[in-house]
Amino acid sequence: MQEEQDDNITKPDMIAAHLSRLQREHHLVKINIVDTTNSFNSMVVDVDAEKKTILLDVLHPDTAHQQMIKHKNFSLNVDCDGVKIGFKGTVKKIVSDDDKPAYLIGFPDKMLYQQRRQAFRAPIGKDIVLKIVLTDPETNKSCAGIIDNVSRDGMCLQFDHTEKYGFDKFQHVSSQFLTTENIEITCKVEIRNIVQDSVHRYTKVGVKFIELDKQQRRHIQNFSLKMERQMMKRKRA
């Protein structure tokens, strides 16, 4: 069963990064014009991170183009490798792109980034303490915590408030931890969620594995399967 995790991205540099990926990989995006019922396809043809503008390809047929000019306000949605990206925008002006019309729009104030989690996360038993260290590869800043649960796709981590956790959502950092088989894993993760609990004085952080090699994927799959089996045993006991 899939879970969906909603996040609204508001940082312009992160918005630019995701839009640039849509442009680079030539993803078709779905455009819904306000006060109209049909949806139309377009593509991101240019992203200017400095000016915080996006260039969208012209809509077809001509009737759709005229509606875009008339109403100006629209919503954009795209499914990008299991991640739903969407935002609302307004056409600032019509410009020429290779002698064809295109729509110049400003960066949205927020962008929906909805990730479908494919795998169930198994909790780590209370009798098991698995330490993990996250490190910023640019500053070498590190923070030590423990693994709360694990799946093939990611983990939930727990950090004590005294560790002064300081990483940001969507930041890519290096992680280093041992599995229950005493296998050391060093891999990149993306920070996906941060929840601070002032009552229990800890910070919970959800991370997604990125750029795993085949051997790492196998070790993490075995690790998560073992935790699932132990969880089932506890439930039957």
In sequence order, the β-bridge partners of residue 172 are 190
Report the C-alpha gap between 8 and 22 in whole angstroms: 17
Report the C-alpha gap between 103 and 107 in whole angstroms: 13
pLDDT one-digit tens code per residue, 116-148? 555 567 788 788 899 999 999 989 999 999 999
Count of domains for the chain: 2
Please indicate, yes or no, whether residues 60 and 74 belong to a single structural domain of this protein: yes
pLDDT at residue 45 in the model: 95
Q: Pick from 67, 90, 116: which residue ends a domain?
A: 116
Please indicate, yes or no, whether residues 171 and 214 belong to a single structural domain of this protein: yes
Please indicate, yes or no, whether residues 213 and 154 belong to a single structural domain of this protein: yes
Report the C-alpha gap between 96 and 169 in whole angstroms: 37
Please indicate, yes or no, whether residues 191 and 210 belong to a single structural domain of this protein: yes
Q: Are 188 and 116 in contact (CB under 8 A)?
A: no
**Where residue 55 sits, what CATH number does that domain have?**
2.30.110.10
What is the token pair recorded at 163? 């560790």
Mean pLDDT, the chain, whole residue set? 87
Label residues 147-178 b or e (16+ Cβ within 10 Å = b): bbbbbbbbbbbbbeeeeebebebbbbbebebe
Q: What is the DSSP letter of 115?
A: E
pLDDT at residue 158 in the model: 92
Query: Does residue 22 surpass a pLDDT of 80?
Result: yes
**Where residue 191 sits, what CATH number does that domain have?**
2.40.10.220
Q: Are 177 and 225 in contact (CB under 8 A)?
A: no
Label residues 209-235 b or e (16+ Cβ within 10 Å = b): beebeeeeeebbeebbeebbebbeeee
pLDDT one-digit tens code per residue, 174-207? 999 999 889 999 999 999 888 877 666 888 899 9
Q: Are 6 and 39 in contact (CB under 8 A)?
A: no
Segments forming the whole domain that contains residue 71: 3-116
pTM: 0.53
pLDDT at residue 219 in the model: 92
25: left (phi over 0), alpha (psi -120 to 50) or beta: alpha
Query: Does residue 115 surpass a pLDDT of 90?
Result: no
Query: Does residue 1 surpass a pLDDT of 50?
Result: no
Please indicate, yes or no, whether residues 127 and 206 belong to a single structural domain of this protein: yes
State how beta strands 142-150 and 131-135 pair: antiparallel
Q: What is the DSSP letter of 100?
A: E
Q: Pick from 82, 98, 116: which residue ends a domain?
A: 116
pLDDT at residue 3 in the model: 43
